[in-house]
Chains A and B, each alone.
Chain A
Amino acid sequence: MLKIALAGIDRLFAAIAASKKLYLPIENAGEVEFSEYSEGAKVRLDALQTVKSAKDAFFPFTENMMQFHTDGKNISVEAAKRVDEDFVVFGVRACDARSFSILDKVFLADPPDSFYAARRAHGIIVGLACHRPEETCFCTNFGIDPTKPETDVTAWIEDGVLYWEAQTEKGKALTEEISAFLEASDEKAVEEQRERTKKILERLPLANLDLSYFKTHPELEIFKRPEWKELSSHCLGCGTCTFVCPTCQCYDIRDYNTGHGIVRYRCWDSCMYSDFTLMAAVNSRKSQVERFRQRFMHKLVYNPINHEGEFGCVGCGRCLRKCPISMNIVKVAKTLGGEQA
């Protein structure tokens, strides 16, 4: 285990940023998001969570896929460049770190998404352990250990010192590059912090969520539960939950005519939107209850069916905090699966 005093951490950031793009939780106008590091940026490693999750680094909010040029009846197509340089995402919490493995199962499944794949190949993730969870955190229900994120490098902050431990080859390579800034350390402080944190985790109000119902009952039965209607009755149909969710991966592909070519780009989309499934005047999910059900069925039922029992949720609690009407996956899970508990 290595360490660096937080007081000098800016030097570390500058050193990483000198050779690679570095994304960090940075505060802008009062909110913290993963943004590219620049000198003087207000880095907020203390912030438990960013508004958007770290998935932005691999599956960005919007990205150009290709550009077309037309000339009479002819078309030419030029694919957008994939990321081909290493970059570092620093300060990823354990929940967000887990979300990458959930996203991988979708984006890297055959045929792989080359844009995502390129970013995954070049992205080096430095995880940051949690020591002060919020009441909305429930990652432990998904077997996540927030005191030790599954990342290329894992970091802990304790008492003004950042502890650093490479977990993968990528992480080791990065450590090598910046070894000048790090010094060796024992694991005592980290172990103590982890123990302390684990005690807090046990006290979290949502620490023992019983989700077994969703794995033990047939898809169709859950789908047909009458509670969906009531649960969705006040849903605004906005995209807040999907846009802050680390595992939501729906996207749209759109064309934009710039006047000198047509850009085909993809951007996040939300299955909560009324036009999500609207195609050529046919809409397969006509009402909000259908859309609402789709989102939560996907997270709680379809994902485990398709991906070896893994839920499409990492328990980050973002939707619990951000939903305008305070409806969220926990309420859905408890309403539908409550009697199993």
Chain B
Amino acid sequence: MMKRPEEQIPALGVVTDVRRDTPDVKTFRVVSPEGKKPLEHMPGQCAMLSLPGIGEGMFSITSSPTQEEYMEFSIKKCGHLTSWLHELEPGQMVTIRGPYGNGFPVETELKGKNLLFIAGGIGLAPLHSVINYCRHYRQNYGDIEIIYGSRSMDDLVDIREIQEEWEPEEGLKVHLTIDRPQDGWNGHVGFVPNYVKELNLSLDKTVLICGPPIMIKFTLQNLQELGFSREQVYTTMELRMKCGIGKCGRCNIGSKYVCKDGPVFRFDQLDELPDEY
């Protein structure tokens, strides 16, 4: 893994493109001031973005490591920093440091497996990187199935890419669902945990799941009812990190640091940790 000499001093990035995905999610394309990809990463890793004077925050890298030109972040507006980020216009510089976290074990445990991705809302962001990585190295993985749900069709992040690139791809199944019926929506309606049960999933899959805690809880419950074991399921934790390097003392879950030991955990690993912070 590439490492810069200055872990704590961020590099600069330029926002070259801002795309509105949903009413409260925007995707930012970031390159280095030289126009290159700001840093190398593994799927599921994160980076710290900041606007000086406003704050610094940890965000999942949405783009795949196989994307050579730039890096993308899908960011939901939920606080002070993200509100400012949502105001950004192309050309604005930000600071960037990372990558942080362990990422999904795409080169080890996931290799050769049938993969089931389950995402809710902005939870697609960390999985997006993995999905495109696996699509790029298609031969290394088995079947890929994606279940993605959101509150409404307007809240489905990256719907254009999903519909135009993922859905037509061979060996890749996409199941979309929204919480409540809506005009203009012909697809499935219902919550993700329930949808999982309806899909007749085979048990030979490794599951990667990300979304709101409540969705994860019930999805996991339903997966177990279907016969999946906890060792088969990976998730990525909420990103309450500050320093990113396991020192500042914020992101512990029990003896583990989310920023160093996570954010990706297998459910059987989480079982050994407190369910509170």
Q: Using CB atoms and an 8 Å cutoff, list the residues of chain A in contact with chain B.
A: 65-66, 68, 70, 73-77, 79, 106-107, 109, 111-115, 219-220, 223-224, 249-253, 255, 257, 262, 264, 269, 271, 276-277, 279-282, 284-285, 290, 294, 297-298, 301-302, 305-306
Known: A70-B52, A220-B274, A280-B80. 15 other contacts (CB 8 A): A68-B95, A75-B12, A77-B12, A77-B95, A79-B9, A106-B246, A113-B8, A114-B7, A115-B8, A250-B250, A264-B52, A285-B277, A290-B276, A294-B277, A305-B255
Contact B93 A74 (CB under 8 A): yes
Contact A302 B255 (CB under 8 A): yes
Nearest chain A CB to B13's CB is how many angstroms away? 9
Q: Digitize B1-42: 1 where CB-to-A-CB distance is under 8 Å, 0 elsewhere.
A: 001001111101000000000000000000000000000000
Contacts of A109 in B (CB 8 A): 246-247
Q: Which of B69-100 contact A (CB under 8 A)?
A: 78-82, 89, 91-95
Contact B95 A276 (CB under 8 A): no
Nearest chain A CB to B75's CB is how many angstroms away? 11
**The one of A271, A280, A297 that contacts B78, using a Cβ cutoff of 8 Å:** A280
Contacts of A250 in B (CB 8 A): 248-250
Nearest chain B CB to A128's CB is how many angstroms away? 29
Contact B246 A253 (CB under 8 A): no
Nearest chain A CB to B2's CB is how many angstroms away? 12
Nearest chain A CB to B265's CB is how many angstroms away? 15
Contacts of B79 in A (CB 8 A): 279-281
B142 within 8 A of A: no
CA distance A290 to B53 in the complex (A): 30
Residue of B nearest to A65 (CB): B8
Contact B93 A255 (CB under 8 A): no
Contacts of B57 in A (CB 8 A): 279-280
Instruction: Please choose the segment from B107-115, B186-194, B237-245 that sits at the chain A interface, where 4 or more of its residues have CB less than 8 A away.
Output: B237-245
Residue of A nearest to B250 (CB): A277
Known: A223-B254, A280-B81. A251 touches B53 (CB 8 A): no
Contact B248 A251 (CB under 8 A): yes
Contacts of B95 in A (CB 8 A): 68, 75, 77
Q: Using CB atoms and an 8 Å cutoff, list the residues of chain B in contact with chain A.
A: 3, 6-10, 12, 52-57, 78-82, 89, 91-95, 238, 240, 242-243, 245-250, 252, 254-255, 272-274, 276-277
Contacts of A264 in B (CB 8 A): 52
Nearest chain B CB to A242's CB is how many angstroms away? 10
CA distance A76 to B94 in the complex (A): 10
Nearest chain B CB to A301's CB is how many angstroms away? 7
Residue of A nearest to B80 (CB): A280
Contacts of B3 in A (CB 8 A): 111
Q: Give the interface SS of chain B, mostly helix, strand, loop or mixed.
A: loop
Nearest chain A CB to B15's CB is how many angstroms away? 9
CA distance A276 to B84 in the complex (A): 22
Contact A255 B55 (CB under 8 A): yes
CA distance A271 to B249 in the complex (A): 8
CA distance A73 to B12 in the complex (A): 12
Nearest chain A CB to B179's CB is how many angstroms away? 22
Contact A249 B277 (CB under 8 A): no
Nearest chain A CB to B225's CB is how many angstroms away? 24
CA distance A254 to B272 in the complex (A): 33
Contact A253 B248 (CB under 8 A): yes
Known: A107-B247, A114-B7, A280-B79. A253 touches B56 (CB 8 A): yes
The list of the 9 closest CB pairs from A to B, nearest first, reads A280-B79, A250-B249, A68-B52, A302-B255, A284-B277, A111-B7, A75-B93, A262-B52, A305-B255
CA distance A68 to B10 in the complex (A): 11
Known: A114-B6, A280-B81. A301 touches B255 (CB 8 A): yes
CA distance A249 to B248 in the complex (A): 7
10 A-B pairs (CB sep. < 8 Å) = A107-B247, A115-B8, A219-B255, A223-B254, A279-B57, A279-B79, A279-B240, A280-B78, A280-B82, A298-B249
Nearest chain A CB to B271's CB is how many angstroms away? 9
Nearest chain A CB to B122's CB is how many angstroms away? 13
Nearest chain A CB to B112's CB is how many angstroms away? 30
Nearest chain A CB to B248's CB is how many angstroms away? 5
CA distance A282 to B241 in the complex (A): 12
CA distance A294 to B6 in the complex (A): 30
Contacts of A277 in B (CB 8 A): 240, 250, 277
Known: A223-B254, A301-B255, A302-B254. A251 touches B55 (CB 8 A): no
Residue of B nearest to A68 (CB): B52
Residue of A nearest to B260 (CB): A109
Contact A251 B78 (CB under 8 A): no
Contact B7 A269 (CB under 8 A): no
CA distance A224 to B274 in the complex (A): 8
Nearest chain A CB to B128's CB is how many angstroms away? 21
Known: A68-B95, A74-B93, A251-B247. A219 touches B272 (CB 8 A): yes
**The one of A70, A269, A281, A306 that contacts B249, using a Cβ cutoff of 8 Å:** A269
Nearest chain A CB to B178's CB is how many angstroms away? 25
CA distance A234 to B153 in the complex (A): 49
Contacts of B242 in A (CB 8 A): 252-253, 279
Contacts of B250 in A (CB 8 A): 250, 276-277
Nearest chain B CB to A102's CB is how many angstroms away? 13
Contacts of B240 in A (CB 8 A): 277, 279, 282, 284
Residue of A nearest to B94 (CB): A75
Contact A220 B272 (CB under 8 A): yes
For B8, B56, B245, which residue has the most chain A Cβ atoms within 10 angstroms? B8
